[in-house]
Amino acid sequence: MNVSQRRYGDKLFDIGLYCLMVIAGIVTLYPFLNVLAISFNNSVDTVRGGITIFPREFTLDNYATIFAFDGLLTGFKNSVLRTVIGTIVGVLSASMMAYTLSRRDFQARKWMSVLFAMTMYFSGGLIPGYMLMRHLGLIGTFEVYIIPAILSVWNVFVVRSYIDNLPIALQESAKIDGANDWTIFWRIILPLCQPVLATIALFVAVGHWNAWFDTYLFNNMKAENTTLQYELMKVLQSTQSGNNYRDPNAQQAIASVSPESIKMAITIVVTVPILLVYPFLQRYFVKGMTLGAVKS
């Protein structure tokens, strides 16, 4: 075994490796590019098939059609609203709770930690949860998207382990300068936690943006509380099982644009906002994921 042989083997390995990774990249991206191409392609032409990653007859008609749906605009508004409100609430509540649980001198720390940690191992289940929402009068409201999701215990523990790693001296010196716990939280803890807060903000926002089941379960009869994902799910399910989309609004549109093109255009509308955000937060969430997994 000499050096040139080793070099040769190494080169071969690298070529194989790069090919494999490029294939993996194509397999990941192709469905997105395919959907994108079809969403911009003339819907009559699409039926002929054979669209890969470039549109054959470019058009914006599909998008014009879907944005004429009432349901889609309402859904878009609600999805944006729940994502914005839900993320602000989720990040603030998780960091407040995490800060109190990180304070070793806090007298209620122990039982509160246990109370929160326990919930990671059991849940009441679907039906009791549904009944609870009924009793609280949350069914058919917009609040059902926010209130049951105020806090994620997982996020609390992720933020707490981050705070635990901050130098305690900062808090102590602030205390000597006369700051109370409230000011310490807002002025010292929150700014220092920025990286981990960016991570959980991304998780919470994506969770809200992608949620559809709560709309299905609690708001399926309330058109004004619909969400984008639920609208997409309705279109997908109705055409997949072969039924026509029963919404008269939609049926009219289908006369001019095929359901296939509608599905693809909505899919892009739903996906693009995520695409615009996550690459910029990659540095943070990679770190956040690792931290969460190591500490728990």
- Ranges within 45-74 binding another protein (CB under 8 A): 49-50
Q: How many residues bind another protein (CB under 8 A)?
A: 85
Contact status: 153 vs another protein (CB under 8 A): yes
Where in 9-38 is the site for another protein (CB under 8 A)? 9-10, 13-14, 17-18, 20-21, 24-25, 27-32, 34-35
The mark string for 115-134 relative to another protein (x by CB under 8 A, - otherwise) is xx--x-xxxxxxxxxxxx-x
Contact status: 154 vs another protein (CB under 8 A): no
Given 233, 238, 245, 249, the residue binding another protein (CB under 8 A): 233
Given 55, 56, 73, 93, the residue binding another protein (CB under 8 A): 93
Query: How many helices (H) does the chain have, and how many strands (E)?
Result: 15, 0
Contact status: 88 vs another protein (CB under 8 A): no
Residue 159 beta carbon to another protein: minimum distance, rounded to whole angstroms: 13
Q: What are the φ and ψ backbone dihedral angles of 151, each rounded to 5 degrees?
A: -135, 145
Residue 133 beta carbon to another protein: minimum distance, rounded to whole angstroms: 10
Q: CA-CA distance, 48 to 163, in Å (whole number)?
A: 58
Residues 185 and 96 sit within 8 Å (Cβ to Cβ): yes
Contact status: 185 vs another protein (CB under 8 A): yes
Contact status: 190 vs another protein (CB under 8 A): no
Residues 216 and 280 sit within 8 Å (Cβ to Cβ): no
Given 74, 166, 181, 238, the residue binding another protein (CB under 8 A): 181
Q: CA-CA distance, 275 to 115, in Å (whole number)?
A: 37
Residue 193 beta carbon to another protein: minimum distance, rounded to whole angstroms: 14
Q: CA-CA distance, 120 to 135, in Å (whole number)?
A: 24
Segment interacting with another protein (CB under 8 A) among 60-68, 164-172, 190-198, 279-287: 279-287
Given 107, 176, 191, 248, the residue binding another protein (CB under 8 A): 107
Given 114, 178, 180, 221, the residue binding another protein (CB under 8 A): 180
Segment interacting with another protein (CB under 8 A) among 158-166, 168-176, 209-217, 245-253: 209-217
Write out the two tokens for 152: 């994620």
Q: Interior CA angle at 267 toward 45 and 24, to 5°?
A: 95
Q: CA-CA distance, 260 to 253, in Å (whole number)?
A: 12
Q: CA-CA distance, 98 to 159, in Å (whole number)?
A: 6
Q: Interior CA angle at 94 toward 121 and 135, to 5°?
A: 65
Of all helices (H) and strands (E), which one includes residue 12? Answer: helix 3-39
